[in-house]
Amino acid sequence: MGAGSFIQAGHLSFQHLDWVSPYLRLEQPGCLVLIADGEIKALISIEPENPPVAWIRLFVCLRDGHHAHYFSQLLQRSLPYLKSKGVNQLYTLSLAPWVEALFTANGFSTETHIITLKREIEMEPAQISTPESFSIRPMTVRDLDTVQTLDEQAFPPAWQMNRLSLQHAYQDSNYCTVAIAAGRIVGYQMSTSTFSFAHLARLAVAPEAQHQHIGSALVQNVFMDCFEKGITTLSVNTQSDNTTSLKFYQNLGFQREGKLIPVYRKDL
């Protein structure tokens, strides 16, 4: 059985909230496979995207009671590769108790939590008040290089997207826009939608252009797009310790909802 078939076989698995397909992750150098007696026992994907930070993207193993052993072995084997790439911090999410136990047993500690906020769109949003100093237009594939640079400026390394993830996010999103000021991109958003539900997947404003209502104008533009498509609920994720982000979204009518997702970090 190949690695691709292995991840489809209903084994015990953990997958990061990732734009990139797990099958593409299997082709990267940061995918390690544990084989014994000619059989795949487990695999892990830890390909660095933005050193000095990397995320555990995928872990799959047999349901034979040895998942803790498999995880520890693969993690230890991955460390030399991560260090060779300049990685000194490894991050991961905990989506289930058994996964959380693996992380704590291998030296990870809680860094923060991801929270979900939601806003109902029950009526036509108020008219967007966009200052004359900037405008909003649809994003194109030609914008991605500039958007990546902006993303790197707006987020710390752990929360940045490299070009591969950014391209997949663009392709998988239903509504993407950029804010233009003085002829250059100073902000962007990417949103996904399914039936009556939409998710504001990415929002960033260049540091020098912040506090000029660009971010709120981009979100209000998403409100209008949702209304025109008959979408009634818009959600967004942020970190529980990001008080600026929380205040921004709450001022736009978002309310906290759902459980917290722990984010773990291990210093290498």
Whether the CA torsion 246, 247, 250, 256 is positive or negative: it is positive
Whether the CA torsion 92, 98, 103, 109 is positive or negative: it is positive
Residue 79 and residue 43 in contact, taking contact as beta carbons nearer than 8 Å = no
State the DSSP code for 169: H
Would you state the pLDDT for residue 124?
A: 72
State the DSSP code for 128: P
Would you state the pLDDT for residue 131?
A: 66
Instruction: Dig out the tokens for 213 from the structure.
Output: 């209502």
Q: Is the pLDDT of residue 174 over 90?
A: yes
Would you state the pLDDT for residue 130?
A: 63
Which amino acid type is present at position 265?
Answer: R
The model's pTM is 0.92
Would you state the pLDDT for residue 2?
A: 83
Stronger pLDDT, 133 or 138, i.e. the higher one? 138
Among 95-104, 124-133, 136-145, top mean pLDDT goes to 136-145
Q: Quote the longest CA-to-CA distance of the chain.
A: 68
Whether the CA torsion 204, 205, 206, 211 is positive or negative: it is negative
How far apart, in whole angstroms, are the C-alpha atoms of residue 111 and residue 247? 20
Summary mean pLDDT of the chain: 94
Nearest to 46 by CA among 1, 101, 106: 106
Q: Is the pLDDT of residue 43 over 90?
A: yes
Stronger pLDDT, 124 or 161, i.e. the higher one? 161
State the DSSP code for 76: H
Q: Name the CATH topology of 3-107.
A: Aminopeptidase (3.40.630)
Q: pLDDT per residue over 184-235, tens digit each?
A: 999 999 999 999 999 999 999 999 999 999 999 999 999 999 999 999 999 9
Residue spans of the domains in the chain: they are 3-107, 116-260
Residue 116 and residue 17 in contact, taking contact as beta carbons nearer than 8 Å = no
Residue 127 pLDDT class (50, 70, 90 cuts): low
Q: Is the pLDDT of residue 128 over 60?
A: no
Q: Which CATH architecture has domain 116-260?
A: 3-Layer(aba) Sandwich (3.40)
Q: Give the percent of the chain with pLDDT over 70.
A: 97
Cα distances from 6 to residues 32, 68, 69, 218, 245, in angstroms, run 13, 18, 18, 42, 39
CA 242 to chain centroid: 15
Would you state the pLDDT for residue 129?
A: 61
